[in-house]
Structures are given as structure tokens and as C-alpha cells.
Amino acid sequence: MGKSISSIIRVSLFGAPKAESQEGLKDTVILTSEFKTVKDKPDTDLALGYWKATSYEQVAEKFGSESKTAKAAQAFFSAPTHQPYVIISGYDVTKKVLANFTEMIALYKNWYHACIADDLAFFDMTPAGPKLFEAASAIEAMEYRVLSVRTADGVKAISQVSAENPFKQMKDALITKVVPFVHTLNEMVDISAMANMLSVNFEGYKTTKTMMYKTCPGLLPDTGVNETNSSLFNDLGINYYTTFGSSPMLAEGRTPSGRYFDEIHFLDWLVDAVQKNIFNSQYQNPTKPALTDEGVTVLLNRINEVAEKGVRNGGAAPGVWRIDGFGMLRRGDYLPKGYYSWADPVALLSDTEVDERKAPLMYLAIKSAGAIHKSETIIAFSR
């Protein structure tokens, strides 16, 4: 039969390990007190402690069309754009707020946004129930998690007594991972607004969006918002859905810290994407990344890949760098690409860092594209 060719010519097939996927930072979980009642029925698809629903009709059939859960799902699926599914789960009001969030992560780790079907039942502002500020503090400490809440009590929401007002407490604590809303007609605007915002495809071109000017189809605008209280809502980072002229729209898209949610969402995506891209460059390398300037450049290129996506999807853009810089970047410099990355030379590493095989500290400056929310025009007329 002769000898096999492989005895002299060897060819090996190498398959790189599967890359760690970047989180979409899109999934919404609706927490509802009605889950336990439905779960106790003989229905096996709720046995895991959560349920992935793909339509309002599914939720209405299971929970009843008049249920809070169905109304929350209706707000979600009626949003202008939304994920093709929503996660529905329950909570235990007797537990600490953090325990409920932790339990949800154990059940379904990929959720990014939590919202509540009940009317602040879980986040009661009275001493009898868990505190909204407690929930805000818990979510703030978590990686890649945000919470939206709403209240119908606009008067209490704008109270300036921080000891009694969790919205004021959140502002004072510079909370960035909570998106609060007020709607005196008790519409579920937070769920509709967030469903729309979290439909962003960061892999696309000019896909990022701002919450301002967006609509909530199927929900009534709040007639209780006026010039006086809207200014107070804005000051506390409380968002609302009302008419401007004759057009219903959301405003302003902020968090209690004063920062806009679209910026928070973009930065969460950016951090996750950079982390995964660097990890995958190591994990899928069949040899080893050398601790040399060339090896560090490989990592910087992975960072730059993500930054390029950030510019392409509209979250970042060329502009002037307005804070202190690093490397060759200085305050006031123009970033023509919208980003700049830097790492110190390997020669500057300490002996300990070399022994630990630790790369030099890497930096990424990325210039936010921001958004236009307001404008002013001067018209000169001459006859």
C-alpha cells in the first residue's frame, strides 16, 4: 500500500477557541409581584424563575390582560423599536433589594435593564417597604446593570427634603445607573423609553440615539407637567413624557447625576467591548503575546478597533479634548479620529511588573459625540 503522505508532509488544522462574546447590553427584565401567582400554576415554562416573552399577547394570555405585567409588556412591545423579547421574573418584597437583584443575575445573567411592573411597590418611599435609594445604591455598585423607575407622585418627587425624597438622595449621591421618570397619569413611560433606547445596535452605522424627542406609542402624554415643575424635574434628573406645542415627546433623558443615559449606555458598551476584545486577543492566540512594545501594540490595536466602532455607531466623534491628556495628548488638542490610545514603553516597567508579566498601563481617550437637544436661532429681517 505504500507509505502515507503524512509521514513526510504533515498538515495540522488549528481552530481558534471561540471568542468571548461582547454583551449586547440590551436585555430588559420586568420584575413583577404577579409572577409568583402565575408560577404556582401548572406551567413548566416558568419553572426556571424567569420567562422570555416574545409578544404582548403571550404575556396577556398568561398573566391576564388587566394585569400590571401585561401592561408593562404592552409598553415594552409598543415602543418605536425594541428587543424581540423581554424577560419577566418575580421578586420577594421581604428580601433586601440587593438580594433580589443578585438572585435575578443568578437566574438570568444577561439582563442589563431592570424595571418594575408594580407602582413603586418594590421601591416604596415609605418606611414600610424597601427604599428606592437602597435600590439605587445597589444597582450603582453592579457592573453593566441599570434600573428605571417611575412615580405618579410628582409633588413628592420634587420635594427638596432629601431625608424624605429618594430622588433628591439619588441626585446628591450622583447616581448614574438609575433612570427615573414621573407620570401623573401612571403610564409606564420608563419601560417604553428604555425599550427604545436599548434597541441600539452598536455594530451599526450612526445607530446610537438620545432619549430626548422620542415618543411612547400607546401611552398618553402627561398633562401634569408645566414650566414650573418641569424645571424641578430637570434639576433632579427626573424624566417625563409630555407635549411640547402639540407634539408628545420624552424629556430630558438624564440620570440623577445629571448625566444623560445615552452616554452611560455607550460607555458601558465601550468598557465591555474593550475588555472582551483584549481578552480575546490573548485567548485566541495560539502562541503568546510578547511583553514587548510590539506585543503591547497588538493590544492597543484591539482597543482601537472598539474605538473605531464607537465613532461609526455615532457614540464618539472627532472633536477637541477638554480635559488633561496623556502620552502625546494635551488639553485643547483636536482628536481627528475621535479617539487616541497610548501605552508607556515596556522599558519603563518595574522588575516586579516584568516578573508578573504585566503589560504597561494602556489609555484610551474617546471624544463623545454628544447630541443636540436645544438650539437658538436669530432671524434678521429687512424690508
The cell numbers describing 286, all together, are 495560539
pLDDT in tens, 189-224: 999 999 999 999 999 999 999 999 999 999 999 999
CA distances from 155 to 55, 97, 191 (A): 35, 25, 22
pLDDT-derived band at 18, boundaries 50, 70, 90: low
* Cβ-contact 154, 184 below 8 angstroms: yes
Q: What are phi and psi for residue 97, nearest 5 degrees?
A: -55, -45
Cell 424641578 belongs to residue: 232
Q: Quick one: DSSP state of residue 104?
A: H
Weakest-pLDDT range from 45-49, 121-125, 175-179: 121-125
* Cβ-contact 367, 321 below 8 angstroms: yes
Distance, CA of 281 to CA of 293 (rounded, Å): 16
3-state secondary structure of 308: helix
Q: Which of 235, 239, 233, 225 lies closest to 193, judged by CA? A: 239
CB contact set of 309 (below 8 Å; sequence gap of 6+) = 202, 203, 273
Does residue 72 have a pLDDT over 80?
Answer: yes
Across the range 59-69, mean pLDDT stands at 94
Tell me the β-bridge partners of 149. 180
The cell numbers describing 86, all together, are 423581554
Across the range 234-263, mean pLDDT stands at 96
pLDDT-derived band at 47, boundaries 50, 70, 90: confident
Cell 401612571 belongs to residue: 186
* Cβ-contact 232, 239 below 8 angstroms: no
Cell 477557541 belongs to residue: 17
Tell me the β-bridge partners of 251. 240
Q: Is the CA virtual torsion 164, 166, 167, 168 positive or negative? A: positive
Q: What is the DSSP string of 215-245?
A: --TTS---TT--HHHHHHHHHHT-EEEEEET
CB contact set of 282 (below 8 Å; sequence gap of 6+) = 289
3-state secondary structure of 339: strand
Does residue 269 have a pLDDT over 70?
Answer: yes
pLDDT-derived band at 128, boundaries 50, 70, 90: very low
Helix (H) or strand (E) holding 247: strand 247-251
Q: Given this model, what pLDDT does residue 383 score?
A: 92
Tell me the β-bridge partners of 268. none
Q: Quick one: DSSP state of residue 292?
A: S
Across the range 18-41, mean pLDDT stands at 80
Helix (H) or strand (E) holding 150: strand 146-151
The cell numbers describing 102, all together, are 443578585
**pTM of the complete model:** 0.90
Distance, CA of 165 to CA of 146 (rounded, Å): 20
